[in-house]
Amino acid sequence: MQTLHNRAPLLSVVVAVYNGEKFLDPFFTCLASQNIDSMEIIIVNDGSSDNSMQIVEKWREKLPQMQVIEQENQGVSVARNTGLAVATGQYLSFPDIDDEFKPGMYQRLLDMALAGNLDVATCNGNYVWENNKKPSRPIFPEDKLQSTDVLPGPVWLKKALDSRKFLHVTWLNVYRHDFIRQHGFRFEPGLRHQDIPWTTEVLLAAERVQYTSERFYDYYIHSASVSHMPDNDDTLIRSARHYMKILQMLEAINQRYPDKVKNIPACHWQIAKEGLGIIHTFDNMKDDAKKGSIIREFFEKGIWKLIWKNAKSPRLRWRLGRRYFRLKRYLP
């Protein structure tokens, strides 16, 4: 069990809560089972309208190191930033309330972080489907990504992206607070999948990172998740706009770290890959007028040029070129 060596807690767990009554009891059970005395829990209530806060208050008695911050609904990024601004721990974590994590997860990551003076300590997890619709499987296949010694962040990012199985997420990691503070990292307000630019830049900036392939975290794929709800044309348009913003952010990150990115071709590959995902979104739209409007926006914002510039391989350019002729018939 971790004991308190100084006034600052060893770990700050920053938790965004929005209408999570279905998930909060299992989530707090996971937190309590971490058995870390030197841990503060910062709950940011992002304008919940269900019974989430009653459940939080019930757990507050069992977890006295918890503080609760109330704000109007502004999304997970702003909620995380709110919690980050008041966190006092030496290390930070950002779990999602609809997932579960194993006893010992944070102690293992903190032990790694302290022993290796890490900026980021990271582990593996499992995909778990609601009602066991599919068998559980590791997030990072162990034949693709094995446990590492301490590595420079860009070396780990290259290894992770080159596996083609890397998932950009914050919740498998703990971060050294001084490192996050020194670089002024924040989550992008109002952006879905903000973990993509966050993880990319954090790892490019990090000097010491270590990964263990031990699986401590269960990522639940369920019908209530925003990421897995059925799409219509309007939600597809919103998704395309979020990813266009992500591509612009990734390009800006690449330009901020040119010396590091030149050794990581996959930093360009991920822009082209996510760009192909946007084009696939267009393919799934049914209303021709809406499809034409978002495709014109895609070209006017320079996203096509950005994707083409970052598609370095002949295969990627061939895949994009085939789609260009389908898209250009929507242009004036």
Q: Given 182, 202, 227, which residue is the final one in a domain?
A: 227
**Domains in the chain: how many in total?**
2
Which of 298, 297, 121 is closest to 212 using CA atoms? 121
For 310-330, the pLDDT digits (tens) are 999 999 999 999 999 889 898
296 located within any domain: yes
Residues 51 and 103 in one domain: yes
Task: Look at the block and give the residue holding tokens 């990504």.
Answer: 145
Give alpha helix (H) positions in the chain: 24-32, 52-60, 76-86, 105-116, 153-162, 177-183, 195-205, 233-256, 258-261, 266-283, 288-300, 303-310, 314-327
CA 29 from chain center: how many Å?
23
Task: Look at the block and give the residue holding tokens 């703990």.
Answer: 174
Q: Given 171, 196, 227, which residue is the final one in a domain?
A: 227
- What is the band of 306 on the pLDDT scale with cuts at 50, 70, 90? very high
Residues 222 and 234 in one domain: no
Residues 189 and 279 in one domain: no
- At 222 the pLDDT is 76
2 located within any domain: no
Q: Which three-class secondary structure state does DSSP give residue 220?
A: strand
1 located within any domain: no
For 18-45, the pLDDT digits (tens) are 999 999 999 999 999 999 989 999 999 9
Residues 7, 30: contact at Cβ < 8 Å? Answer: no
* Cα–Cα distance measured from residue 223 to residue 117, given in angstroms and rounded to the nearest whole number: 40
Q: Residue 213: which domain range?
A: 11-227
- Residue 23's CB is within 10 A of a number of other CB atoms, namely 20
For 166-216, the pLDDT digits (tens) are 999 999 999 999 999 999 999 999 999 999 999 999 999 999 999 999 999
Residues 209 and 236 in one domain: no
16 located within any domain: yes
For 229-273, the pLDDT digits (tens) are 568 999 999 999 999 999 999 999 999 999 999 999 999 999 999
CA 136 from chain center: how many Å?
20
Q: Supply the pTM of this predicted model.
A: 0.93
Amino acid, single-letter form, for residue 209: V
In SS3 terms, 122-181 reads as EEEEEEEEHHHCCCCEECCCCCCCCCCCCECHHHHHHHHHHCCCCCCCCCCEEEEHHHHH
CA 222 from chain center: how many Å?
17
Residues 282 and 323 in one domain: yes
Please give the share of the chain, as a percent, with pLDDT higher than 90.
89
For 100-145, the pLDDT digits (tens) are 999 999 999 999 999 999 999 999 999 999 888 889 999 999 999 9
Q: Given 193, 227, 261, which residue is the final one in a domain?
A: 227
Residues 112, 212: contact at Cβ < 8 Å? Answer: yes
| Residues counted in the chain | 332
The pLDDT of residue 226 is above 80: no
Compute the C-alpha angle 109/112/117, nearest 5°: 120
